[in-house]
Amino acid sequence: MEKESISQEEKENFLVHSKLFLQEFESAFIVYSSTLWKKYTPEIDDEEARKFAHLIYQRLFECDDNIKLLKEELLSAMNGNALKVGFLLSRSMLYMIENYIAFCREHPGVSYLELLCECIQRFIMVCEEENRPLSSSPCIDFSQNNDVLFSHTNTILEAFRTMQQKDEKIIFFKSL
């Protein structure tokens, strides 16, 4: 079962042990994120993009209520486009993980990668709450299923037909 939330003590432990990384990385994160936001949302000005990048960086380790407030601000700035907000947040967080891995290679014994990933996952989950267009329809998760999905007699088209007969939805995602 998925962990519902990360304790404040765990977050504080990460913050204490990763303080050097967080200090060194903040400006790089703000530059990367604001550039990314500006690239995909040209109507946003540079100062607002930097403000959002800074808020995302600050609120990553805060309580869910503060993250929800940030989500509302981001949605407002993106004209309610939750998919774009999710995409930009995910790209920014992947950038953070990549840099944290590089930092851990330079500073052995400092790795709290799993905890960072849990914090990022929780942050993204809170930002996605109530904005997922798929929340009304159940999704099938094949990642933990050991069944053979496709064989020489079971093609993807047959799988789609079976899903259609069961009145299940088939949803495809496109890139932004």
Backbone angles phi, psi at 119, to 5 degrees: -65, -45
> What own/partner pairs with CB < 8 Å and gap ≥ 24 does 90-96 have?
90/124, 91/36, 92/29, 92/32, 92/33, 92/36, 92/53, 92/56, 93/120, 93/123, 93/124, 95/29, 95/32, 95/33, 96/25, 96/29, 96/120
pTM to 2 decimal places: 0.64
Record the tokens describing residue 80, joined without a space: 């309610």
In this predicted structure, what is the pLDDT of residue 137? 46
Residues 73, 77, 79, 81: is their CA dihedral positive or negative?
A: negative
- The answer on pLDDT for 30 being more than 90 is yes
Give the count of alpha carbons within 13 A of 28, CB side only.
12
What is the distance between the alpha carbons of residues 150 and 27, in angstroms, rounded to a whole number? Answer: 47
Length of the chain: 176
List the chain domain ranges: 8-128
Record the tokens describing residue 48, joined without a space: 């607002």
pLDDT in tens, 114-173: 888 888 888 888 888 764 444 444 555 444 555 545 455 556 677 777 777 887 776 666
Backbone angles phi, psi at 151, to 5 degrees: -135, -170
User: 153 vs 33, which has greater pLDDT?
Assistant: 33
